[in-house]
Structure 1
Amino acid sequence: MINGVVNVYKEKGFTSHDVVAKLRGILGQKKIGHTGTLDPDAEGVLPVCLGKATKLCDMLTDKDKIYETVLLLGKTTDTQDITGRVLEETDTGMLAAGKIEDCIKRYIGEYEQIPPMYSALKVNGKKLYELAREGKEIERKPRRVQIHDIRIQKTEIPRVWMEVSCSKGTYIRTLCHDIGQDLGTGACMESLLRTKVSRFELKDSLKLAQIEEMKKGGCLMEAVIPVDQMFSELGALTVLEEHAALAYNGNPVPEHFLENPGSGILEGTDGREDTRRFRMYDEAGRFIGIYSFCQNSKEYRLEKMFLDQEELRG
């Protein structure tokens, strides 16, 4: 089984689920998961977790993202993007570029965003888009999202090309819709390209056909980031062989059971409870999991386990 993360370029027309299904066929393994839904007409970066790396899916879903989008003013649709049924069309001739850009910039920071009906969010066990397709609309609670930055690349009314850096849970088509409402003309999202998710960038992403070719050529692992390297910013620790069973079973590991004791001590904490996060390995070099150092008890406590029993038997 392949364990790690591959940076997939999701092409237009595929759902995120389609990507996972096709990868299962290409790689010949079932344990695969994606890290956050992209609409079928959207393109771009979709990190996909393989094998043990599926434990990372929720961590990567929580990461900040960057998108390039085209805002189309003067058209409101039921899906808030260009694929939906047109609800209203408005003349944009009275709009000035400066007014549009001032309005857009006001969205930088936190704002309350109401999720669209055409979304995969669940209410009482049913996805919103399923209700929308039945012609039902229900009240949705606004969610606080963070727009870190919006860089306007070009304005040619009725279109605005922009790059949006935002927190998890942000709907770019809803951002476009909201901007249109503020301007009084309505708007929808005409296109969407995700260019970055955490460390994964567009320039390094691979289309499914490229991944298939690499698999056939025997060089696929060049494109797979090992699980432990997803935490490369964390320090590395090694538990001594005679005490490794503690770590294998998810128990706390006292500092003096390490090959390199003392590396977790924090200076200036005055005995207060404090933590630092580390990658833990055994002496055979196997990645066990992520641990936090507890200053008071001088021990490392498991945050997330990645080593499995099958790996130990091997």
Structure 2
Amino acid sequence: MSRRRRGRDVNGVVVLDKPRGMSSNDAVQRVKRMYSARKVGHTGSLDPLATGVLPLCLGDATKFSQYLLTSDKTYVATLRLGVSTDSGDSDGRILEQRAVGDMPRERIEEALDDFRGDIEQVPSMFSAVKHQGKPLYKLARQGIEIEREARPVTIYRNEIVDFTDDRLTLEVHCSKGTYVRTIAHDLGEQLGCGAHVEALRRTTAGPYREDDLVTFDEMSRMAELGRLDEALQPVATAVGQWPTVELAGAPAFYLKQGQPVLVPHAPTEGWVRLYEQENNDGRFIGVGEILGDGRVAPRRLIV
């Protein structure tokens, strides 16, 4: 006999401003306790060092977490030049210190050209990438280092925000799977002085921005007032960057049975949010994909 999962049914997305020093899994467990929720999951981990946008999916929203996991991200990273660490960030052990000297900004700008566009990146040993089912960072903590294959990533934007003495702040807009710590390490080596990430903040993840953020302190105050659910973003916001398709009557019926349907004025390609019209009100029922013949095929539904 299967056990019924304990907790209450709560559906939505908490766009958490993750504090420094907390793991993404610890953030998940804390939110789960606060809501007494049956199911909570994150959409791509943030290092304990990092702060900022960490979308946490509750209930039905977990069905769409994969689309947030594969979405683009933006980070603001402060690098310390002249110091290399084994992890590529300030939580790691210092390996080498080198003089930065009078580093011209133009030299950094020139070096950054190699960290824009489609590039290949070797994941850090202190990453969550798995080797034979085990995260690399666990192997690294045991003093084990293995050869890693380079992975293709896309850096849409990599710009200098500030450069003062040995501190360099970058804004990086990138595809999923990009490691800013690896950019810091590789850039430092290219500059000949070494570098690591001293501070890291994620400012966007898919459709979510810093304006959407809520802190644990704010959530605690809302909970005291019995208004914690107000911290939840609607489930549909997890795919908020996609266009909307509205259905009613027979098309809605057949689509909910798993069949592709023709919908007037639907987009001609790509992924869409699906809404069923009921009593002049639209209800989010999932996501679909436009097929080559123009029909809308259901891909993930809430029915």
Q: TM-score, normalised by structure 1?
A: 0.85
SS in 1 for 2:185: helix
Residues 204-254 of structure 1, C-alpha deviation per residue, up to 9 Å, x if partnerless? 3111121232233233343322123444542232232x77654444x2154
Which residue does 1:138 correspond to in 2? 146
Structure 1 residue 122: deviation in Å? 0.5
Residues 284-313 of structure 1, C-alpha deviation per residue, up to 9 Å, x if partnerless? 6543222334464x7532111122xxxxxx
Cα distance change on mapping 1:163 and 1:136 into 2, 3 Å: same
1:234 lines up with 2:231 in the alignment: no
More deviation, 106-115/218-227:
218-227
- The residue type paired with residue 248 of structure 2 is V
Cα distance change on mapping 1:293 and 1:26 into 2, 3 Å: same
* Residues 97 and 157, structure 1, Cα contact 8 Å, conserved in 2: no
Residues 126-172 of structure 1, C-alpha deviation per residue, up to 9 Å, x if partnerless? 11011111111000000111111122122123111121111111111
Which residue does 2:58 correspond to in 1? 50
* Residues 290 and 303, structure 1, Cα contact 8 Å, conserved in 2: yes
1:281 lines up with 2:276 in the alignment: yes
Query: How far apart, CA to CA, are the structure 1 residues paired with 2:150 and 2:274?
Result: 37
- Matching of residues 296-311 of structure 1 within 5 Å: 296=293, 299-307=295-303
For residue 259 of structure 2, the aligned residue among 252, 265, 269 is 252
Superposed structure 1 runs of 4+ greater than 6 Å apart: none
Query: How far apart, CA to CA, are the structure 1 residues paired with 2:105 and 2:267?
Result: 55
Residues 41-75 of structure 1, C-alpha deviation per residue, up to 9 Å, x if partnerless? 11111011110001121110111111111111111
Cα distance change on mapping 1:31 and 1:265 into 2, 3 Å: closer
Structure 1 gap ranges (5+): 256-260, 267-273, 308-314
* Residues 275 and 295, structure 1, Cα contact 8 Å, conserved in 2: no
SS in 2 for 1:92: coil
* Residues 281 and 289, structure 1, Cα contact 8 Å, conserved in 2: no
1:291 lines up with 2:288 in the alignment: yes
1:93 lines up with 2:88 in the alignment: no
- Matching of residues 159-174 of structure 1 within 5 Å: 159-174=167-182
Which residue does 2:136 correspond to in 1? 128
Query: How far apart, CA to CA, are the structure 2 residues paired with 1:144 and 1:98?
Result: 27
Structure 2 gap ranges (5+): 1-8
* Residues 82 and 190, structure 1, Cα contact 8 Å, conserved in 2: yes
- The residue type paired with residue 262 of structure 1 is P
- The residue type paired with residue 235 of structure 1 is T
- Matching of residues 8-27 of structure 1 within 5 Å: 8-27=16-35
Larger-gyration structure (1/2):
1
Which residue does 1:118 correspond to in 2? 126
Cα distance change on mapping 1:140 and 1:252 into 2, 3 Å: same
Cα distance change on mapping 1:197 and 1:123 into 2, 3 Å: same
SS in 2 for 1:106: helix
- The residue type paired with residue 83 of structure 2 is K
* Residues 20 and 34, structure 1, Cα contact 8 Å, conserved in 2: yes
Which residue does 2:4 correspond to in 1? none
* Residues 280 and 291, structure 1, Cα contact 8 Å, conserved in 2: no
SS in 2 for 1:194: strand
Cα distance change on mapping 1:265 and 1:222 into 2, 3 Å: closer
Identical aligned residues as a percent: 36
Query: How far apart, CA to CA, are the structure 1 residues paired with 2:207 and 2:189?
Result: 34
Query: RMSD between aligned alpha carbons?
Result: 2.2
More deviation, 137-146/206-215:
206-215
- The residue type paired with residue 174 of structure 2 is C
SS in 2 for 1:45: strand
Structure 1 residue 111: deviation in Å? 1.5
* Residues 251 and 261, structure 2, Cα contact 8 Å, conserved in 1: no
Structure 1 residue 84: deviation in Å? 0.8
Cα distance change on mapping 1:222 and 1:138 into 2, 3 Å: same
